[in-house]
Structure 1
Amino acid sequence: MDLLDLTEHGRWTTAPAAVTKEPDGSLLVTADEGSDAWRHTSYGFVHDTEHALVAPMPRRGAVEVTFVLDGSEQFDQAGVFLRVSETDWIKAGVEVSDGVAQLGAVVTHGTSDWSVAPVPDWLGRPVTIRASRDGDAVTVRARVDEEDWRLVRVAHLDPDAEVEAGLFCAAPTRAGLTVRFTAVRLGPPDEALHG
């Protein structure tokens, strides 16, 4: 699967405000104001309005999404999305929180959790998020430009679950966020958790 395959054969969980295919093969996705993915924890609300372009993912495999996020407003976000259902999903990527770009993941099995680490110099640069699924685990790694991979999260996922995966973006607090997606790749899972 590549970006062209995903745009032709994938489906949007929620249609974005606009999608533009660029001559260089990249995809510009403009998020609706109020779009987000979250369930209950701490905030008390449920949002199932993220803009995720997804397609079936094998039980053993990895999906990588490369994007450039020029976000500036609270909770502007982009990355990779793995969806089992409205109550079971994982999103991972870069999100602006309290004025700082954060690398993080939200894992949701009925209720959401959230882990982040600051990456203030990642905005406006090509970021790749990799989610590798094998057995009962999803291993999330990330890098900016061609730097070394960073381990972001190891999360549980039912090994028998039917999963759709692909790119996503959301803009919970404003209109006008446009994210440039430059690549989506599907391949084999990581050989090991640790090098």
Structure 2
Amino acid sequence: MRKIKLDKSIFNDFYWLNEPEKYYFENELVIKTEPQTDFWQRTHYGFRNDNAPALLTDLEADFSFAAKFKFEPQTKYDQCGIMLRLDSENWIKISTEYENEEISRLGAVVTNLGYSDWATEDISSEINSVWYRVSKRGNDFLIENSFDGTNWSQMRITHLHQDFEEIKVGVYACSPKNSSFKAKIVEMNIDENHWEAK
């Protein structure tokens, strides 16, 4: 397992898509989200947004990528999590999206050929720290979450339709409405694939 050091040396391997105005390192990466930023394409809501910050690296072959997040959202849809990306119309994001003081939406958005879908599970908004892990096997992906970094629960198995040899992987944070919050990335790891073959 390769644990990613969360300091300025991260830019030896990672790069920004839509670099945020405010971020810093303090043994973790802190991103201050900007209002009206999001990743979403077309479905149901009709709009298209591709302007949120994501810190990404390029990976080939199969892998597992895990990251731990802490967050204190302020407004509906505030979110931070893992991003996997081919381009603006083919990507996956995994996060907890704030709904209100009682519930938030633990889930994943999968965007294929320019259309997003969103699969969710309600969790308590008192939860403000979550691990996410995604494991790649070809064009298929196993998406999991954990509240302790040890015991993992399956959220979804999904597929990207667009063929690729390399995919961008990393973390993101955004505030689709007119709000802002601090998203903290506490740990990031790249490992061999944890998803067992059939």
Q: TM-score, normalised by structure 1?
A: 0.90
Post-superposition Cα deviations, 1:120-165, rounded to whole Å, max 9, x if no partner, equal 156323x110010012211100011246211111110256342010
Question: Which consecutive residues of structure 1, in runs of 5 or more, have no partner in the other structure?
Answer: none
- Find the counterpart in structure 2 of residue 35 from structure 1: 37
**Contact 2:74 / 2:179 at 8 angstroms: preserved in 1?**
no
Residues 1:115 and 2:119 aligned together: yes
**Contact 2:14 / 2:57 at 8 angstroms: preserved in 1?**
yes
Residues 1:152 and 2:149 aligned together: no
Residues 1:185 and 2:189 aligned together: yes
Specify the SS of the correspondent of 1:83: strand
CA distance in structure 1 between the aligned counterparts of 2:55 and 2:136, rounded to whole angstroms: 18
Post-superposition Cα deviations, 1:24-58, rounded to whole Å, max 9, x if no partner, equal x1111011101100000001110001211000122
- Find the counterpart in structure 1 of residue 68 from structure 2: 66
- Find the counterpart in structure 1 of residue 88 from structure 2: 86
Residues 1:104 and 2:91 aligned together: no
Specify the SS of the correspondent of 1:119: strand
RMSD of aligned alpha carbons: 1.9
> Judging changes above 3 Å, is the alpha-carbon distance between structure 1 residues 172 and 111 closer, same or farther for their aligned structure 2 residues?
same
Q: TM-score, normalised by structure 2?
A: 0.89
Moved over 4 A (4+): none
Q: Percent identity?
A: 24
CA distance in structure 1 between the aligned counterparts of 2:131 and 2:148, rounded to whole angstroms: 8
**Contact 2:40 / 2:50 at 8 angstroms: preserved in 1?**
yes
Aligned residue pairs total 191
**Contact 1:59 / 1:159 at 8 angstroms: preserved in 2?**
no
